[in-house]
Amino acid sequence: MSQPIVYGDAISTYVRSVRLALEEKGVPHTLAAVDLVKGQHKEDGHLVRHPWGKMPAFEHDGILFYEASAILRYIDEAFPGPALMPSTPVERVRVNQVMSIVDSYGYPASITNIFIPRVLVPSLGGQTDEAQVEAAKPQAALFLKEIDRLLGEASYFGGATVSLADLHLLPVLTYLQATPEGQALVAATPNIAAWMGRMNERSSAQAVMPAA
């Protein structure tokens, strides 16, 4: 089996989720840099990998595909190492539900509408769109409330061991928590705050998200 290639930028949440899964499985991989800030994901070289001009794209054993949740499930199934999906239908539906919540509601509220205007835009010399951030706050609060409810008292979203849901969620919450709005939301959900502490102690998180 050849070493997989992740095409993307190390700062991207979805790239991070894929690399976290590879680390959890103990799979060495290559990160082929596609610079997000420079917009290389919109250039022809990357559009052949991902026609929507997003990241990550993933290559393994001569096949090339994209969509982070599909890549995550592939990694879990194609490589040996600890299973990242739980074994019972009830646990599996929880994992799939959380992954879908991240994609449909969590990422747009937390990253597109809070982290990017609050942190990324100013870091590049621009100004935060306060109305954009303000409008996203109720959705971000609902996101935290729901994932808190879904985690409950469990250690991880799939139960006793780390799952794809945990790896899909961690990079998004890490960036959300880097904003004052997100910090307040995480602090108000102690189970999620404790889960983040557990996740950040993992060697996978330390390898992929060194600043976390």
User: Can you give the binding site for ligand GSH, defined by CB under 6 A?
Assistant: 12-14, 41, 53-55, 66-69
Q: CB of 70: closest distance to ligand GSH in angstroms? A: 8
Q: CB of 27: closest distance to ligand GSH in angstroms? A: 19
Determine the Cα–Cα distance for residues 168 and 72; give it in Å rounded to an integer.
8
Closest CB to ligand GSH among residues 41, 60: 41
Closest CB to ligand GSH among residues 13, 204: 13
Output the residue with the shortest Cβ distance to ligand GSH.
54
Alpha carbon separation from 124 to 2, 9, 30, 63, 74 (Å, rounded): 38, 16, 28, 36, 35
Closest CB to ligand GSH among residues 148, 208: 208
Q: CB of 130: closest distance to ligand GSH in angstroms? A: 22
Q: CB of 74: closest distance to ligand GSH in angstroms? A: 12
Per the document, the length of the chain is 212
Q: CB of 21: closest distance to ligand GSH in angstroms? A: 13
State the greatest distance between any 2 C-alpha atoms of the chain, in Å, as a whole number: 49
Structure tokens at 111: 């990253």
Closest CB to ligand GSH among residues 50, 148: 50
Residues with Cβ within 8 Å of residue 32, at least 6 apart in sequence: 5, 6, 7, 8
Closest CB to ligand GSH among residues 156, 175: 175
Q: CB of 105: closest distance to ligand GSH in angstroms? A: 13
155-189 burial code (b ≥16 CB/10 A, e <16): ebbbbeebbbbbbbbbbbbbbbbbbebbeebbeeb
Under a CB-based contact definition with an 8 Å cutoff, are residues 50 and 66 in contact?
yes
CA torsion, ordered 194, 197, 203, 207, to nearest 10 deg: 130
Closest CB to ligand GSH among residues 35, 130: 35
